[in-house]
Amino acid sequence: MGSVPRDEPSGVSLSRVAETDQRPPGREVLHMLAPQASDCNTCVVYGDDVGQSLLDQVEDAERELRAAAEADRAGGPDGSDADLQRYFDEVIAADQKIEPRDWIPEAYRKGLVRQIAQHAHSEIIGMQPEGNWISRAPSLKRKAILLAKVQDEAGHGLYLYAAAETLGVAREELVQMLLDGRQKYSSIFNYPTLTWADIGAIGWLVDGAAIVNQVPLCRCSYGPYARAMIRICKEESFHQRQGFEILYTLANGTGAQRRMAQDAVDRWWYPSLAMFGPPDTASTHSEQSMAWKIKRFSNDDLRQRFVDMCVQQASVLGLAIPDPDLRWNAERGSYDFTDPDYDELFRVIKGNGPCNRQRMAYRHRAYDDGAWVREAAAAHAAKRRAEAA
Ligand SMILES: [Fe+2]
Ligand SMILES: [Fe+2]
């Protein structure tokens, strides 16, 4: 798919503003754009509008992916172990993509299976906190949007399980590892959704953090994962916009609605910052992952990028980020901010968050309830095979 020009409010371009000013666009410009943004759900104001937008990066990654597929791959391996490794290293160094047909080191395979499976599990478990509000959405329109969003998350899980399967692991095996607790999902989904505003905060902050994390993965060295991420990121950008739009509506509503929106942002801010993982000094998988071009930026770099993006957007919402120490640092060209409580992050990862038990109990129940579907599908496939034989 080629590059499609995106809607931009007439007469004002954030990218033009960003070019003439070292600081991200100011509150005034964003306020001018906000009313127009509410009429236009592809408007640039919702995404990362500082400089090159996140969606532009996804499109660049898609172009790179096509170029890598068309580029000549000189000197295939001669089959010896040393040559297989040489070829793998060369493909990575040349920014080409590793495909399922290629030999890969076992540690690369294992690391990717762990990461992609954890990502797939997060998409599936992540349907629960929002699914909680489908039957209580405040209007038919909100309900339809939320249904579509939760369904998108199921689709993301499926793309990712399919990508993991190209590494020689069965989806059934991965699902079992989630159910046994041998594989994890993102700690963010162990927090409860207490009010309708939480659906807005999840879209704005949780999907927003997911995009910042995932856009660089569109350039990951493993082709099937990179391709899945391109599709996912395009959908995630809409998730972020729908969350922003819910909060924008509440923040401009009655006093009670405004307080509800602020309360949700207060509760989701630090868990969203924790989504980028432990600080670089305590991150165990990062270095190798960067050398293999799976991960492109460190946890702390991505967290900073997210904070810088959110400060501008919070000013459009007119909601406060719950951090008294948040301030612009002209020297660094970024905002200083308070780190999340990493002890809490580790407690939640270990299974002691507010909803860990509930989320897993629900997943077990859904898996058990679906047993008859799996049995029927297997019986049907066996019958088709027998008929064909
Ligand atoms: Fe998703
Ligand atoms: Fe999402």
Contact 169, 107 (CB under 8 A): no
Which ligand is nearest to the Cα of residue 242, counting in written order?
A: 2
Higher per-residue pLDDT: 65 or 343: 343
For 326-341, what is each residue's pLDDT tens digit? Answer: 999 999 999 999 999 9
Rounded distance from Cα 362 to ligand 1 centre (Å): 19
CA of 207 to the centre of ligand 1 (A): 7
Greater model confidence, 248 or 74: 248
Total-model pTM: 0.83
Ligand of minimum distance to the alpha carbon of 239: 2
Q: Is residue 366 over pLDDT 90?
A: yes
Ligand 1 centroid–CA 75 distance in Å is: 38
Confidence of residue 63 (pLDDT cuts 50, 70, 90): confident
pLDDT of residue 46: 44
pLDDT tens per residue, range 281-307: 887 767 888 889 998 899 999 999 999
Least confident of 4-13, 22-31, 319-328: 4-13
249: left (phi over 0), alpha (psi -120 to 50) or beta: alpha
Residues, Cβ < 5 Å to ion ligand 1: 123, 153, 156
DSSP string, 77-105: --SSHHHHHHHHHHHHHTT--B-TTS---
pLDDT tens digit string along 143-176? 999 999 999 999 999 999 999 999 999 999 999 9
Q: Residue 45 C-alpha to ligand 2 middle, in angstroms?
A: 18
DSSP string, 9-45: -TT--HHHHHHH-SSPPPHHHHHHHHHHHTT-TT-GG
What pLDDT, on a 0 to 100 scale, did the predictor assign at position 9? 33
Alpha-carbon gap, residue 213 to 122, rounded angstroms: 13
Which ligand is the nearest neighbour of the Cα of 232?
Answer: 1
Distance 239 CA to ligand 2 centre (A): 5
Is residue 12 very low, low, confident or very high in pLDDT (cuts 50, 70, 90)? Answer: very low
Residue identified by tokens 């009670």 is: 256
Check: CB of residue 188 under 8 Å from CB of residue 130: no
Looking at the CA of 149, which ligand is closest?
2
DSSP for 256-282?
Answer: HHHHHHHHHHHHHHHHHHHTT-S-GGG
283: CA distance to ligand 2 center in Å?
25
Q: What is the pLDDT of residue 57?
A: 81
Smallest-distance ligand from the CA of 154: 1
Q: What are the two backbone dihedrals, phi and then psi, of residue 95, each rounded to the nearest 5 degrees? A: 60, 30
Ligand 2 centre distance from Cα of residue 278 (Å): 22
Q: Which ligand is nearest to the CA of 124?
A: 1
3-state class (DSSP) for residue 170: coil
Residue 210 CA to ligand 2 center (angstroms) comes to 7
Q: Is the pLDDT of residue 23 over 80?
A: no
